[in-house]
Structure 1
Amino acid sequence: MPLSLTKRGLMLLMRAIGFFIGLFGIAARAFDFPLRHCGSRITQPTSEPLLLLSGVQLAKLIRRRKVKCIDVINTYIDRIKEVNPMINAIVKDRFEAAQQEALAVDKRLSEEQEDEATLEKKWPFLGVPLTVKEAFELHGMPNSSGLVNRRNVVSKSDAIVVALLKQAGAIPLGVTNCSELCMWYESSNNVYGRTNNPYDVQCIVGGSSGGEGCALAAACSVIGVGSDIGGSIRMPAFFNGIFGHKPTSGVVSNEGQFPVAMGAQEEFQCTGPMCRYAEDVEPMLRVMAGPGVHKLKLDKKVPAQKIKFYWMEHDGGSLLVSRVDEELLQAQKKVVRHLETVLGASVQHVKLRQMKYSYQIWVTMMSTKNHDGMETVKLQELLGDHGKPVWPLWELMKWVLGMSTHTFPSIGLGLLEPVLKYDSQTCLVGMLGNDGVFLYPSHPQVAPKHHFPLTRPFNFAYTGIFNALGLPVTQCPLGLNSKGLPLGIQVVAGPFNDHLTLAMAQYLEKSFGGWVCPGKS
């Protein structure tokens, strides 16, 4: 897809601005005094049995009265107290309320004699620890999305998905960190500070659901709620070695989170489950989808042998993003060889030239009007919390003097916003049909060092393209690289074929091991 001369010029401008941002990133790093940790840069591993069970398994033990809910909750609280000072994933806890709710579960089970099948139908996640991205409303918890002038906002109700999970029996332990306004892929803000990767605290956790991915990876939680408009579930899931699912667009409710998606953003933003174990993703999605669950094919079982497989090792060489790490390429090829030799599947290598323009496609789709003709809200307005618009250039000058309340990534995106518009198309949806999946890198690099995203602001295009296309995607962990950082891969399917990616998540977990506890080789 050739670009016009004007578009080529615009691309050069974006690269120049990217370089400018990179220089500021280096300056920011120079003035950012790192946290000093005694000993290891990796969180302590755990061998506590209750921390190493899936949500499904925990709920089963609680329903069968083989373990008390209060013991599960207290075990998780102890784990959070042990490692959270190092990683800063959970930014506000509700431990006392969670303990009271756990005691209520145990009391109910001691007094009622309902059979296990009835209990499972009513409360599929009975007593299971849950964490929630701070951008979502959780009654009694803050809801700032990292914006300083919202630091005193406290939720008076629950977001729809949070309410549904609580009704299913889950017990929230607290809320987790995100990037300012959920607009960046490093979770750091001027309200709560920075979250550190449990596999190496010098590395990022991703964003914007980075605190959620980190809490899950560090065994501080077992199931979590995230949101995704450009990879905000899948990048943190990848950087932290867990499972994260972006559902088909328009199925799971986005209500009850800040910022409120408007215009095209409303159509492409997705709320979805984040989990340590693959078997929790599908039951979580069933609960979170609520009345929209009938749109999905979650009851349809498709043997892996019946799935058509396609793969592509990189985007084709975009000048805006990094090259894919060699160890990520090798991990992907290992999956392909496994599918061919063990499963006996035919895995077709494809070259979709449109993927080279993933960032441009995403920007175009996010900049259009929705079906009702509503304009997308500008970042300048969001930074002002829908009050007086914030002028990015003025904020940049204030930031240089240490006087701005906003983070540099938010200011940089505000500066770039007026020039980031392109148009394109894709043939991926037609290729996948209703029985195909596409294997694609989750990100061009494993979790980089803090501030590195400032030098590579467009790397999120590897995930963002699938928001623009409205496709279901599951990020699946594939073990650790030579430096002990998580590897992973995206599994993509056609619209409303989430069941295919979820089935592959379970298959890949069985074949490659899934989540690896930090600190364990």
Structure 2
Amino acid sequence: MSQSSSWQELVADKKRRQEASVPRNWLVTVPPDTVLDVTAFPEQCGLLSERELEITNTIDVGVLLQKLAAAEWSSVEVTTAFYKRAIVAQQLVNCLTEIFVEKALARAAELDDYLKTTGSVVGPLHGLPMSLKDQINLKGLETTIGYASWVGKYADKDAVLAEILYECGAVPFVKTNIPQTLMWPETYNLIFGRTLNPANRLLTCGGSSGGEGALIHLKGSPLGVGSDIGGSIRIPAIFNGLYGLRPSYGRVPYEGSANSMCGQDSIPSALGPLSNSLSGIKAFMQAVISREPWLRDPLAVRKKWDDEEYALAGHGNGQALCFAILWDDRIVIPHPPIIRALEMTRDALIAAGHKVIDWKPIKHLELGDAIFRICKAGALEDLMVATAASGEPILSSMSLTEEVIVDTSTRPDLIGISAYQLWQIQNAKAHLRKEYLDHWERTVEATGTGRPVDAIISPGAPFAAPPHGKNGNPNYTQVFNVLNYVACAFPVTKVDPTLDAKKPPHQFLNEADEVNYNLYDPITFQNAPVGLQLVGRTLEEEAVIAMTEIVDSALKATASA
């Protein structure tokens, strides 16, 4: 298609080519829209063999890697199994952008040949199929990040992260859906449309890594990569019952990946993993860091994987930890299922011998305001430049009405500010970070361990996955982006209308709190996954993973008791 093509022509061409990339014999008859929970459908549709179901139901990435390294399962059969399941997921919830079966299977065959010939694996992720958020460039494939104007924009080389994953032996096999611009906590764009939540298709899958969340929930990928500037890894992870790590800026290389608002480096986006298992989160971080990404990305942090930190040397060696629970941010009170998840986690940790205290949030409104004002400083011009080539409309909502900006004067929230004004916001942000650091340090007076709180356990949103277009509150995640704290999402339970009945109205903190209260109805949210996030300090990825493992084990021990 020519650069002068209309956005509608570009979209039609891309959709036609995407549909043609799906093997015809992998198409299935999907359940009608009235069937809301489609989680079990991949196992019922008849496309996958018993062995392929065994492979894709092996959610522990550590086990998958062991079987691949031992040649018990070949990379070709594992990749084929997950590919089939990913294509089923695509038909159910519309989660994919790029589908490249022949390329992926050729890569898997090369890895099998190498293992057979040498007796050795290529690297720590040998033979493992991996899904990538659309923005991560793969040579020869398109990257649109939801812009019709970018259809036909082929990458001339791999992103640094993709290079590293290939060197580690991984098999990138699909790219996944995102919202237009990436800057939404839901997933909808004018090219590929809307991605749905597999647990309840009337609810959002979250965003902006929503395609990853929905795909991995359906076990269409064992391990995926998303990005997070305000919650875009953790929100889809929580809404889809997954684990998802938001590292500090620069721990995972970003060089060569596409993005919105390039040049906004006060609160950068961070790439990180999503998986059905914590072993997947750990395997990804260890593998990527082992390749010394700071030698290829000038913004990558020079820090090797720290086994002492993973052993929690700075946290009492993992014994009798002190966790602080953020029950609410004093802006919006979470819905009943979220409160129940916090209570379940508190009780499980106490039963496991750890101490739990309350976390007093400070300046969360100001922190949220800082990221909003920094991101909007040049947002409108950035969006206008990105969409100018095709004249596509800029979405102003993720709602089902598909609203678009037709007159930029109606969006004063996106009007830019002067460089001096931006500096003042960034200066205020720096002061807020110092104030929060001091606040954390002072908790040494309440922990009884001789050290400050080891980690915060917090909601990732004041609700479980809401109906489409209703996810308007990312503050529970974005405040930790402003602070540059490491955070790992983890699953706890799911919405149960009996256990999670609506509570009588409380004294509302503000209008947003009242709106959030009125949003909740247990029947609307039924079956939605419910998760939380564990928050550690800057560049504390190893310790955050280890502490999340402790929390996860405590929850599982309580559930099986």
TM-score scaled by structure 2?
A: 0.73
Amino acid at match of 2:193: G
Post-superposition offset of 1:90? 1.3
The separation in 2 between residues aligned to 1:201 and 1:486, in whole angstroms, is: 12
Aligned to 2:552: 509
Pairing partner for 2:36 from 26, 36, 41: 41
The separation in 2 between residues aligned to 1:177 and 1:286, in whole angstroms, is: 26
Aligned to 1:441: 459
Contact 2:160 2:253 in 1 (8 A): yes
Say whether residues 1:465 and 2:465 are aligned partners.
no
Say whether residues 1:359 and 2:368 are aligned partners.
yes
Contact 2:61 2:222 in 1 (8 A): yes
Post-superposition offset of 1:431? 4.3
Post-superposition offset of 1:191? 0.9
Aligned to 2:501: none
Flag the 1:218–1:333 CA change in 2: closer, same or farther, 3 A. same
Q: Determine which structure has greater relative contact order: mean sequence separation of CA pairs < 8 Å that are 6+ residues apart, divided by chain length.
A: 1
The separation in 1 between residues aligned to 2:480 and 2:410, in whole angstroms, is: 20
The separation in 2 between residues aligned to 1:329 and 1:511, in whole angstroms, is: 18
Flag the 1:55–1:141 CA change in 2: closer, same or farther, 3 A. farther
Post-superposition offset of 1:364? 4.5
Amino acid at match of 2:494: L
How many positions carry a matched residue from both structures? 452
Flag the 1:81–1:388 CA change in 2: closer, same or farther, 3 A. closer
* Deviations, residues 42-63 of structure 1 (Å, cap 9, x unaligned): 2242482211222222121111
Contact 2:322 2:356 in 1 (8 A): yes
Tell me the secondary structure at the aligned position of residue 92 of structure 1. Answer: strand
The separation in 2 between residues aligned to 1:104 and 1:385, in whole angstroms, is: 38
Tell me the secondary structure at the aligned position of residue 386 of structure 2. Answer: coil
Say whether residues 1:73 and 2:91 are aligned partners.
no
Flag the 1:197–1:38 CA change in 2: closer, same or farther, 3 A. closer
Gaps of 5+ in 2: 1-29, 44-49, 295-300, 442-451, 497-525
Post-superposition offset of 1:409? 12
Post-superposition offset of 1:140? 2.5
Pairing partner for 2:57 from 36, 52, 55: 52
Aligned to 2:9: none
Say whether residues 1:135 and 2:149 are aligned partners.
no
Flag the 1:219–1:411 CA change in 2: closer, same or farther, 3 A. farther
Say whether residues 1:334 and 2:339 are aligned partners.
no
The separation in 1 between residues aligned to 2:282 and 2:78, in whole angstroms, is: 22
Aligned to 2:245: 245
* Deviations, residues 48-79 of structure 1 (Å, cap 9, x unaligned): 22112222221211111111111111111221
Aligned to 1:145: 145
The separation in 2 between residues aligned to 1:429 and 1:57, in whole angstroms, is: 39
Contact 2:226 2:273 in 1 (8 A): yes
Flag the 1:265–1:377 CA change in 2: closer, same or farther, 3 A. farther
Please list, as runs of the form range in 1=range in 2, the aligned pairs for 1:82-161 lying within 5 A after superposition: 82-114=88-120, 119=121, 122-161=122-161
Post-superposition offset of 1:445? 0.7
Flag the 1:263–1:156 CA change in 2: closer, same or farther, 3 A. closer
Q: Identity, % of aligned pairs? A: 22
Q: What root-mean-square deviation, in Å, do the aligned CA atoms of Structure 1 and Structure 2 show?
A: 3.3
Aligned to 1:428: 436
Post-superposition offset of 1:360? 1.2
The separation in 2 between residues aligned to 1:167 and 1:396, in whole angstroms, is: 38
Post-superposition offset of 1:295? 5.7
The separation in 2 between residues aligned to 1:222 and 1:143, in whole angstroms, is: 22
Aligned to 2:357: 348
Flag the 1:215–1:411 CA change in 2: closer, same or farther, 3 A. farther
Amino acid at match of 2:358: H
TM-score scaled by structure 1?
A: 0.79
Post-superposition offset of 1:380? 2.5
Pairing partner for 1:61 from 30, 45, 67: 67
Contact 1:475 1:488 in 2 (8 A): yes
The separation in 2 between residues aligned to 1:269 and 1:181, in whole angstroms, is: 13
Post-superposition offset of 1:177? 0.3
Post-superposition offset of 1:408? 6.0
Contact 2:149 2:388 in 1 (8 A): no
